[in-house]
A and B are shown apart, each in its own frame.
Chain A
Amino acid sequence: METALPQRLIQLSLQSLKNVQNNNIQLNQQTIQQGIHATQFLQPIPLKPKQEPTIVAAVDTSSIKIGETSTGILIAIRGANIWKQNRSYRYIRLGPFILHITEENKKEVYNTLQNALNPSSENHQNPPNIQQMPTRLASLLERWLQKMLSKTLNNSLILFDGSLTSGTPDTPTKTMKEILETARKRENTVLAFSKMTNLRLNGHIITEILPNHKPPYMIEAVGLRAKPPIVLFGDIYIAKLSKANYAFRLDIDKETPIAQRIEAVERLLGNDLLAQGYPETLRLAHILCTFTANEVIAMQHFITRKCGVKIINRPDMHRLLFGVFGKGEGNP
């Protein structure tokens, strides 16, 4: 019997596991993005909360697939702007918007929303495949909400969920540039927090190799090179803003002077709650737009009532063919 391949697999397995010893492992491991690597960290910048009253605003959006039809999918998207002013939070929530996306209408839907976001632009992107449409449409809504905040606020802090990386299908360079310019003109500072990052320094995720320093502080990661078409509109920091054992990637607009960047983070510390080192405003924005299971049922109920759609359970082929050995399509 030919055993070369199994033996190689065992060897590779044992070899790779040697490198893991004494390391932390993360369940639901993220895919390693090869695009951006930092070369070094600068010295930690100690931060001191600044109590100067400042509006802290945040944006987040959410999308969910609520069902499939014979011609496409039913999706819902929702977005929320939330701001903290005079010690209380207020919000504006848009949606849920329920859409039926098919191969026939996806281009129209996508272009219409792109037009709404950037009326002057003619170079619209092609729509993604149907399965990617929910996240792509949510991104369009998110950019629009970000644009609205940057246009309406003055001398405030605007928190984005994610990074200031653009050039991806989700984040066209032109849109991100416009948003940041508008914010800057109105003396707003944009701070983008990433809950997860793939950025690595010497092969390690940058948020996990921090120096032993008393929080709150932030460290700039330098030597970043992004492969085209990816553009970095922000300088990247690792921010550890509370005693909790969590650090986050923080992108700050490159065009913002260094002193203003530090002051912005210090004003954030003085004006928002930072439980576990993550801004409460941003956390609330996320909570407000995320769909709960009950809401999904309610939307299905709405569709059933309003559109006369009948919800059926498509036979699960895994279960059908493999019985108890089938994991089901939801858990391949």
Chain B
Amino acid sequence: MKLYKKEGNIVQILSFPNENVEKGDYLLIEDADAGKALIAQVIDVQFANIPGILEELLRGLPDGGELIQGEDFDPLEIAPHITYIQDASLLICKIRATAENENLSPSSSWLPSRSQSTIRKLPIPMLLKLARVDGKLPIQLGATKDASPLTIDASALDGKLNIITGKKETGKSHLSKLLISSLVGYKATVIVFDLNGEYLSLGMTADGKRNAYYDKIHVLTPSQNFRISLKQLNLHVLLDILIHALHLPGTSAREFRRIWQSLKERDMLNMHELGEAIRNWHCNQHVKDALFSRYYALVNSGFFTDNVAEATLLEECLLKAKEQGGAIIINLRNTSMIDRQIVVEYLLGKLVELLTSWKLKAVFLFAEEAHLYLRETYWDDIVTRMRHFGIFTTFITNQPDTIRENIYRQADNIFLFNFTNEHDLEVVSRAARVDAETVKSIAKDLPPHHCLVLGKVVKDFPMVVKVKALDVKTMGETRLFFTDTN
């Protein structure tokens, strides 16, 4: 390999066919005299612009488009040299760091010698060692292209905002499950908003047996084993549900507040008494109708119960998880949009309450397709206020444009699977932790189950990893028409 050009933080390297370099590989450009080396990542592989190549290709096809037949007497065997030159490639590389005395700095301000520098592939284990991608809480994500394991540290997810994105069936949920089970393994509390019921069997092996996490996976299905009583609720949480999920107007909300205060003073906070109170409340008929319609929405969701004993599971699970680690899977499958919003509003409010009172230390929240249940104002809340309370969110989506731009800008880690759509890549490339060229070039060519890891977990050295297989029972499979009936 030979250093050809450097423009800004892009270097172009001439590579020959036997050198076998691919997109995503890291190269070490060592200048022995300067005592420094550039670490650059290949973001594109192009044909080298060889002079006369067009003539040569045309020469091969002069006979009406068919190859002209003939014999070459090439006594000196020059032909392999011609092929060697013809197949030379140009590696477009992004400078990631400068290595000097085994220390890395993000500088790319110096120029290595074009004639004297040596260029070689930098094995990922060596890069990980140089970049000090290690820690006491290892999570093995999978293997890199050179079959070396890629291990991140769980603490690099702690207090961080993460995004897992990629098109359908590329392995997003698989990676989420891997992260969740690893975090649970380190006794973390994890909450999953499971839209399609994919995480319900996280505690089961592929052949249906219990795995090591079985006792730590708690599946809560709203209106079945997950119900709440009004007594557990703070007024502001219920008002959030009424205003944001059920769109209760401000005037009606004020009346509701009075009704609530009245019931609370009389220690009669339950659904039955709430209905009665609305019925007997002296107020404008339109306000009463508005309150009634919301009341019935709450009743019909099946999420509310007057039996306090039925409404203790969430806290029990959270406290259990606090002790020994655990994942609480909120099963939102078969739940209507409004009910989903009710559940999520309640849960987030409850988490803030528990975290504020230090009943919980911190939770890792995995939110699948969050735009389907998260109200507009929560996005900023999640990345700012809630993060300070100790809710560390991982968004999982196959529609990257449903996540707001400021979320990408503030994301600490991005796990990017394949995207072919330019628009999708454009959205993801707004992330602050990586340059647009890397995202657009590498993500396009990622095979299924391969993920481009960006951000703090890899110390800002983007790496392609094949996510390791997980012995977990697959759920949430799409129902098919053409299935084998035999």
List CB contacts (< 8 Å) of B42-71 with chain A.
Answer: 50-53, 55-56, 59, 62-63, 66, 68-71
| Residue in B52, B63, B78 whose beta carbon sits within 8 Å of that of A96 in the complex | B78
Whether A294 touches B59, Cβ cut-off 8 Å, given contacts A91-B68, A96-B76, A98-B76, is no
Contacts A/B (CB < 8 Å), 12 sampled: A88-B63, A89-B69, A92-B73, A96-B76, A287-B59, A287-B62, A292-B55, A294-B85, A295-B82, A297-B85, A299-B78, A305-B81
B413 lies within 8 A of chain A by Cβ: no
Distance of A91 Cα from B73 Cα, bound (Å)? 11
Whether A48 sits at the interface, judged by CB under 8 Å, is no
13 new A-B pairs (CB below 8 Å) besides A91-B71, A287-B62, A302-B78?
A89-B69, A91-B70, A93-B72, A96-B76, A284-B62, A288-B59, A290-B55, A292-B56, A294-B50, A295-B52, A297-B85, A298-B82, A299-B81
Set B53, B62, B73: member contacting A294, Cβ < 8 A: B53
Contact residues in A for B78 (Cβ distance below 8 Å): 96, 98, 295, 298-299, 302
A284 contacts B56, C-beta separation under 8 Å: no
Determine the distance from Cα of A111 to Cα of B291 in the docked complex, in whole angstroms.
Answer: 112
Q: Which residues of B contact A293 (CB under 8 A)?
A: 50-52
- Inter-subunit contact A93/B76 (CB<8 Å): no
Whole-angstrom distance between the Cβ of B49 and the nearest chain A Cβ: 11
Residue in A closest to B79 when the chains form the complex, CB atoms: A298
Distance in angstroms between the alpha carbons of A93 and B85 in the assembled complex: 20
Smallest CB gap from B70: residue in A: A91
Which chain B residues numbered 96 to 112 have a C-beta less than 8 Å away from chain A?
Answer: none
1/0 contact string of A292-310 vs chain B (CB within 8 Å): 1111111101100110000
B52 near A302 (CB under 8 angstroms)?
no
Q: A96-B78, A294-B53 are in contact. Are A89 and B85 (CB under 8 A)?
A: no
Segment 60-92 of A: residues with Cβ below 8 Å from B: 82, 88-92
Q: Is the CB of B56 within 8 A of A93?
A: no
- Expressed in whole angstroms, the minimum distance between the Cβ of A281 and any Cβ of chain B is 11
Query: Out of B70, B81, B84, which one reaches A93, CB within 8 Å?
Result: B70
B305 at the interface (CB under 8 A from A): no
> Per-residue CB proximity of A130-153 to B under 8 Å, as 1/0?
000000000000000000000000
Q: Which 4 A-B pairs have the closest CB atoms?
A: A292-B52, A91-B70, A293-B51, A293-B52
B86 part of interface (Cβ distance < 8 Å)? yes
Q: Could you say which residues of chain B place their CB within 8 Å of the CB of A82?
A: 70
B86 closest partner in A (C-beta): A294
- In the complex, whether B75 has a CB less than 8 A from a CB of chain A is yes
The reply to whether B70 and A92 form a contact with Cβ atoms under 8 Å apart is: yes
Question: Quick check: is B74 within 8 A (CB to CB) of the other chain?
Answer: yes
Measured between beta carbons, the chain B residues less than 8 angstroms from A91 are: 68-71
Q: Which residues in B have their C-beta under 8 angstroms from that of A288?
A: 59, 70
Complex Cα gap A31–B74 (Å): 36
Q: Are B85 and A298 in contact (CB under 8 A)?
A: yes
Q: Which of B51, B68, B70, B74 has most A Cβ within 10 Å?
A: B70
Query: Does the CB pair A297–B76 fall under 8 Å?
Result: no
State the CA gap A92–B75 with chains docked (Å): 13
Give the CA-CA distance A88 to B67 in the complex, in Å: 10
Nearest Cβ in chain B — how far from A42, in angstroms? 35
List residues of chain A with CB within 8 A of the CB of B55.
290, 292
How many chain B residues touch A (CB < 8 A): the figure is 25
Bound Cα distance from A298 to B68, whole angstroms: 22
| Shortest distance between the CB of A299 and any CB in chain B (Å) | 6
B76 in contact with A294 (CB, 8 Å)? no
Q: Chain B residues near A302 (CB, 8 Å)?
A: 76, 78, 81
CA distance A264 to B52 in the complex (A): 36
The answer to whether B50 touches A297, judged by C-beta atoms less than 8 angstroms apart, is: yes
B72 nearest CB neighbor, chain A only: A93
Q: Is the CB of A294 within 8 A of B70?
A: no
Which residues from B are CB-within-8-Å of A96?
74, 76, 78
**Cβ-neighbour of A95 out of B53, B59, B68, B73 (below 8 A):** B73
Q: Which residues of A contact B63 (CB under 8 A)?
A: 88-89
- A91 to B, closest residue via Cβ: B70
Whether A94 sits at the interface, judged by CB under 8 Å, is yes
Min CB gap B417→A, angstroms: 39
Query: Which listed residue, A89, A294, A297, A301, touches B68 by the CB 8 Å rule?
Result: A89
Measured in the bound complex, the distance between the Cα atoms of B274 and A56 in whole Å is 103
Residues of chain B within 8 A of A94, CB atoms compared:
73
Task: State the CA gap A90–B84 with chains docked (Å).
Answer: 25
Q: How far is the CB of A227 from chain B (nearest CB, A)?
A: 39
Chain B, Cβ-Cβ closest to A79: B73
Chain B residues lying within 8 Å of A90, measured Cβ to Cβ, are 68-70
Interface flags, A192-224, vs B, CB<8A=1, else 0: 000000000000000000000000000000000
Is B76 a contact of A97 with CB atoms below 8 Å? yes
Most interface-central of B68, B73, B81 (chain A CB within 10 A) = B81
| Contact B56 A298, beta carbon cutoff 8 Å | no
In contact, A301 and B59 (Cβ under 8 angstroms) = no
Chain A residues positioned under 8 Å from B53 (CB to CB): 292, 294
Cα-based distance from A96 to B75 in the complex (angstroms): 8
Give the interface centre of B73, B78, B82 by most chain A CB atoms within 10 Å.
B78
Chain B residues closer than 8 Å to A95, beta-carbon distance:
73-75
Pick the contact of B81 from A88, A89, A292, A298 — CB < 8 Å?
A298
Contact yes or no, B56 A294, CB < 8 A:
yes
> Closest residue to A93 on the B side, CB-wise?
B72
Which A residues are in CB contact (< 8 Å) with B62? 89, 284, 287
**Digit string of A270-298 for contact with B (CB within 8 Å is 1, else 0)?**
00000000000000100110101111111
| Chain B 351-379 per-residue mask, 1 if CB under 8 angstroms from chain A, else 0 | 00000000000000000000000000000
Determine the distance from Cα of A95 to Cα of B66 in the docked complex, in whole angstroms. Answer: 23
A169 to chain B, nearest CB (A): 27
CA distance A299 to B78 in the complex (A): 7
Name the A residues within 8 Å of B50 (CB-CB). 293-294, 297
CA distance A95 to B77 in the complex (A): 9
For A93, the chain B residues whose CB sits under 8 A away are: 70-73
Q: How far is the CA of A298 from the CA of B77 in the complex (A)?
A: 11
CB-CB under 8 A from B68, the residues of chain A are: 89-91, 284
In the complex, chain B residues 460-480 whose Cβ is within 8 Å of any chain A Cβ:
none
Tell me the bound Cα distance from A86 to B86 in angstroms: 33
Residues of B within 8 A of A89 (CB): 62-63, 68-69
Chain A nearest CB, measured from B114 CB (Å): 14
In the assembly, what is the distance between CA of A93 and CA of B84, in Å? 20
Contacts of B71 in A (CB 8 A): 91-93
A184, B337: Cα distance in complex, Å:
95
The smallest C-beta distance from B54 to any residue of chain A, in angstroms, reads 9
A294–B69 contact, CB under 8 A?
Answer: no
A244 to B52, CA, bound (A): 27
Q: Is the CB of B52 within 8 A of A294?
A: yes
